[in-house]
Structure 1
Amino acid sequence: MKLEIAQSTPTAASIAMLVQEHYGLSEVVESEFLRRSFNQVYRLGLTDGRSLVARLSAERPRGAPNLQFEAAALEHWAEAGCRVSRCVPTAGGEIAIEVPLPEGPRALMLFEHLPGEFTGDTALDIEAFARGLAVLHTAGESYAGPESAYRLDLDYLLQRPLQGLLRAPTMTAELRPQFEELGERLQAAILALGELSQVLCHGDAHGSNNFIQIDAQARREAVFFDFDEAGPGCLAYELAVYPWNLHPRTVDGVLSDKAAQQWRHFISAYREARPVPDADLAAIPRFMAARQFWLLGEYAGRIPVWGSQAMPTDYLRRQVTMLRKWETLELPL
């Protein structure tokens, strides 16, 4: 009998050997497994002193990784002067290699490693993060490379994740129509706001997919990485990811005074760098809920790897209560 494998985890040493074989780089002398989340991420150290990051793409509910678009968008942003972690090509000029694994081939991409510290909770860090995001959006307006395989629209963020969530083994007949109704009302509320601004999104700009660097003049600058979720989409969604991360995602969660001030620093700095129309501002709280539906769909898609108790029924029940409260959620300005 041949066992089916949901997702295997290669060692850091084996990833180092693959990179050594396929990339025209100096010798890989350090390898470290950094994290296992939606993808698996490794840090590699070279004899020339450089550090690189290898990302082994995992199976996602959306489909195949968006490799061609991601590599081209990163190159465009870098050429426009944005501080981003670019794709490192193979010795043959390819943007990725296929890694043969028991569950089937998976794409491995290599990226520049950027130094720095995660965005802190000081006003200076948050404002640098917001300004950097505005610079990405402005530079993205002139992107003319390969099209993204995915648009960060309501189908991608809400409808498809909802369908995956409804099929989860921990979903119940009682909860299923409640989630469906919440999804329908959320979509209607967003559509009622009219036409919303579109940008080339980072897609996951919650403050921990960028570092803050400080130069010799003590100026802070944001540098960005982890563009696996990048794609064209609503500005309101992009701006909703940070307050979604700040807000307690619990039944009785209330935005703390500290978090509210962090949000004010963020949105004020972004608006100073780049205008945000009123309709987009109004849509941000609704897209916080869309972000939560997206996350629930991702968790449902990871059940073969993480197990059904990564999303138990009592957790889903609490999500219904929370999302009902979020239907009237507002953010301070």
Structure 2
Amino acid sequence: MARPRGPRPLVLLERVAGRRPEPPFAPGLHRAHGRLIARIHAAGETFRSAHHRPAPDLAALLDGPLAEIAPLLSADDRDRAVRVAAAARAGLTARPPARALCHGDATMDNVAIVGGTDAEPELVVFDFDLAGDGYAVADFPFGSPNWEHFLAGYTEVRPLAPEDLGAEPWLDAVEVLAGLRFHLVTKPRWRGAESLGEGWLDQTLADLRELAGALPTDRPVRTGWTK
């Protein structure tokens, strides 16, 4: 589309009539959500796009964020971030979970109910800005209420291996580092330094400290930090 300051990309999307889920989310909604995410992952096994997005490797997931945030952290938090990244690298290398075409932001915020019943709703998902190749379980709502119902719905469509669910702590680490980069680097670029005082950075630093504190040696264990 031509604009005074030059061409701008434009995407036209089909409008879907539906309604957003409202908490508290019923077990049936979580099961339907699990099935929906599993269908996306299953479809990605044969889907090939002409517009390829490079698959993020561990360097992109861990080293990139760490390099940007390390100079902005206190010495103690920098040490925590380095240890958490090293633990995640070791865990994901030793027992890598399966990869899939992931949604990238598979929360209830990006789901609409378009039919069905409360017990068995029909769902569609939107907002594929972050979609691409990744670890399938990165789309999972680990630790959320009714998590077992999401898992039951997912496994109706697509099986999981032990290393998939065992990767939760490593993915927590990846997400903490990504969150720190967002709040310390990316967001201030377009919102200004005022955004550092909104509380989100403090919460993400608390998540980092909790995760690092759960490292008995060089491996993190299950924490309360969730997406």
Query: Aligning the two structures, in what range does the TM-score lie when normalised by the shorter sequence?
Result: 0.7 to 0.9
Cα shift at 1:289:
2.7
Segments of 5+ residues of structure 1 without an aligned counterpart are 1-96, 247-258
Secondary structure, aligned partner of 1:208:
helix
In the aligned structure 1, how far is the partner of 2:2 from the partner of 2:71?
A: 30
Aligned positions, number? 213
Cα shift at 1:317:
4.5
Secondary structure, aligned partner of 1:136:
helix
In the aligned structure 1, how far is the partner of 2:62 from the partner of 2:120?
A: 39
1:323 to 2:222 alignment: no
Closer, same or farther: CA 160–172 of 1 in aligned 2, 3 Å? same
2:27 to 123, 127, 141: 123
Cα shift at 1:137:
1.1
In the aligned structure 2, how far is the partner of 1:208 from the partner of 1:315?
A: 20
> Which residue of 2 is the match for residue 302 of structure 1?
187
In the aligned structure 1, how far is the partner of 2:202 from the partner of 2:107?
A: 26
2:175 to 262, 269, 291: 291
Cα shift at 1:201:
0.7
Shift >3 Å, 4+ stretches: 97-101, 104-108, 215-219, 311-317
Closer, same or farther: CA 196–315 of 1 in aligned 2, 3 Å? closer
* AA in 1 matched with 2:87: R
Q: Larger relative CO (CA 8 A, sep 6+): 1 or 2?
A: 2
Segments of 5+ residues of structure 2 without an aligned counterpart are 215-219
Closer, same or farther: CA 316–264 of 1 in aligned 2, 3 Å? closer
Q: Which has the higher strand share?
A: 1
The root-mean-square deviation of aligned C-alpha atoms, in Å, is 2.9
> Which residue of 2 is the match for residue 151 of structure 1?
55
> Which residue of 2 is the match for residue 243 of structure 1?
142
Q: How does 1:11-90 map to 2 (within 5 A)?
A: none
| Structure with greater Cα Rg | 1
Q: Which has the higher helix share?
A: 2
1:229 to 2:130 alignment: yes
Secondary structure, aligned partner of 2:31:
helix
* AA in 2 matched with 1:110: L
In the aligned structure 2, how far is the partner of 1:216 from the partner of 1:186?
A: 40
Secondary structure, aligned partner of 2:142:
helix
> Which residue of 1 is the match for residue 217 of structure 2?
none
Cα shift at 1:304:
1.7
In the aligned structure 1, how far is the partner of 2:109 from the partner of 2:84?
A: 29
Closer, same or farther: CA 106–154 of 1 in aligned 2, 3 Å? farther
In the aligned structure 2, how far is the partner of 1:263 from the partner of 1:216?
A: 20
1:198 to 2:99 alignment: yes
1:178 to 2:69 alignment: no
* AA in 2 matched with 1:304: R
Cα shift at 1:133:
0.9
What percent identity do the matched residue pairs reach? 28
Post-superposition Cα deviations, 1:18-41, rounded to whole Å, max 9, x if no partner, equal xxxxxxxxxxxxxxxxxxxxxxxx
Post-superposition Cα deviations, 1:103-144, rounded to whole Å, max 9, x if no partner, equal x87644232222223344101111111111111111111112
Give me the TM-score of the superposition, normalised by structure 2: 0.79
